[in-house]
Amino acid sequence: MKKGILALIGCSLLMIYLFVRSHREITITLGMFTGSNWDVYNAESYKVIDDAIEKFEKEHPNVTIEYKSGILKQDYSAWLASNIASGDQPDVFMVLAEDFNKLSSLGALMPLDDLIKANNISTDIFYESALSSGSYQNTQYALPYEINPTMMFVNRDLLEKEGIAIPEGNWTIEEFYQICAQVTKDTDNDGTIDQYGSYGFKWQDAVNGYGISLFDDEGASSNLNQSDVREALSYVQKLKDLNKGYQVSSEDFDKGNVAFYPLTFAQYRTYQPYPYRVSKYSTFKWSCLAMPGTTANQKTSQIATSLIAVNSKTTQRQLAFEFLETLTIDQEIQQELFENSQGASALKSVMASASTKALLDQDAMSNYSLKQDVLDDIIENAVIEPKFKKYNNIIERCDYLITNALNENRIDDALVDIEKEIDNQLK
């Protein structure tokens, strides 16, 4: 009898403990910065996050999501590094692209592969280029929250005036140069060129267009002093030489005097005539295309990705991952993100939705045109950046050295020394 009473008391206490444990308040902290990840105006920077938090908290009544507001993007890396050093990093946090490789290699991010598998998530729902941005050494450490592909803006009015057909989606580097050469001219016969082929086409765009990998897979050595790299950089020099020393500016494009200008999707959306946005290029009609390449269906366009990761030391592993799911995988939240920000969703289903099509189709009724299938193709065929620890610092140094060599018209002589310097830094 006595043993039975003790057993009953023990069971009751266990049930009370389990009940209290299941209903205790749990706080998940979120690290984020204010404003747009793409350095363009965003009046709704907190709206989607707040709605995602509200949805998650309704589904998890005993969980509260907290974040510190007001952290600027330019201060975020230092803020996050300081919190990691002190052991106070958030459970879930945004990761800037330039910080991802380093944070992954240092063990600050939780590997997600087991959680993805345990929660029956198919990674096929994401664009491969976006998903790979959160992968380091074949391990998934972050999921894509938002993406921003680079596209080629085309001044339709200028090409039509010159009797040139708008290029098709699978256009080539050679077509790009031929059109640029054809439209570059002195239109008023005053002895000065006043119409130009392109502005802002960088050496990296040419390298992507030629399908060149600048580094080996491990990031142990570079492939800079190679014939295909020389050809790509000579191509950039040829484009520049068309202007006979004149430095084409964004103002020239704004005035309708430039045929082509590589810009990001976020810049495209920022300058649309939607509420809270400015119609900057309203003096001419323009379209968007994939960046040109040497072959059809080549991966040519750069894509920037906003990533979210889970703290490797979180005490709420499953809940933190579930909140990460809400931010990055929930169809409703991701659709809202697309409609209230400047970037695109990394979810194929959102980019193929009727709501997305309707939003893009608004442009077709104005001076602007970006079709849903064109945008999908650009993202699907985006260039995947190398993933090694020193990549961001190395590519920044490459940009400095190569840009200077191009500006001084000495790229042929400079490549040998540039490769030596970069290889030394990779050791």
Which tens digits make up the pLDDT trace of 329-345?
Answer: 999 999 999 998 889 99
245 & 370 share domain: no
180 & 41 share domain: no
Q: 8 in a domain, yes or no?
A: no
89 & 210 share domain: no
292 & 403 share domain: yes
Convert 215-254 into a string of H (helix), E (strand) and C (coil).
ECCCCCCECCCCHHHHHHHHHHHHHHHCCCCCCCCHHHHH
pLDDT tier at 2, thresholds 50, 70, 90: low
pLDDT (tens digit, 9 = 90+) per residue, 36-81?
Answer: 888 777 767 789 999 999 999 999 999 999 998 789 999 999 999 9
Q: 317 in a domain, yes or no?
A: yes
Predicted confidence at residue 275, as pLDDT, reads: 37
pLDDT for residue 280 is more than 70? no
Predicted confidence at residue 286, as pLDDT, reads: 82
262 & 394 share domain: yes
Q: 17 in a domain, yes or no?
A: no
Distance CA 119, CA 279 (A): 43
pLDDT tier at 299, thresholds 50, 70, 90: confident
226 & 327 share domain: no
pLDDT for residue 278 is more than 50? no
Predicted confidence at residue 368, as pLDDT, reads: 58
Q: By three-state DSSP, how is residue 348 classified?
A: helix
Q: 7 in a domain, yes or no?
A: no
pLDDT for residue 15 is more than 70? no
60 & 31 share domain: yes
201 & 246 share domain: yes
pLDDT tier at 91, thresholds 50, 70, 90: very high
pLDDT (tens digit, 9 = 90+) per residue, 258-269?
Answer: 999 999 999 888
Domain that holds residue 225: 150-302+386-426
pLDDT for residue 4 is more than 80? no
136 & 165 share domain: no
121 & 205 share domain: no
Convert 126-185 into a string of H (helix), E (strand) and C (coil).
ECHHHHHCCEECCEECEEEEEEEEEEEEEEHHHHHHCCCCCCCCCCEHHHHHHHHHHHCE
* pLDDT (average), residues 93-101: 93
pLDDT tier at 298, thresholds 50, 70, 90: confident
pLDDT tier at 325, thresholds 50, 70, 90: very high
- Which residues, at least 6 apart from 310, have a Cβ–Cβ distance to it below 8 Å? 91, 92, 109, 110, 112, 317, 320, 321, 324
127 & 203 share domain: no
What CATH number has the domain bearing residue 62? 3.40.190.10
Predicted confidence at residue 9, as pLDDT, reads: 60
Predicted confidence at residue 35, as pLDDT, reads: 80
103 & 156 share domain: no
Predicted confidence at residue 23, as pLDDT, reads: 54
Q: What is the total count of domains within the chain? A: 2
pLDDT (tens digit, 9 = 90+) per residue, 177-236?
Answer: 999 999 999 898 888 899 999 999 999 999 999 999 999 878 899 999 999 999 999 999
pLDDT tier at 284, thresholds 50, 70, 90: confident
| pLDDT above 70 coverage of the chain, percent | 89
Task: Output the pTM of the full model.
Answer: 0.86
Predicted confidence at residue 370, as pLDDT, reads: 81
Q: Name which of 153-162, 361-370, 386-395 the model is least confident about.
A: 361-370
Over the chain, what is the mean pLDDT? 88
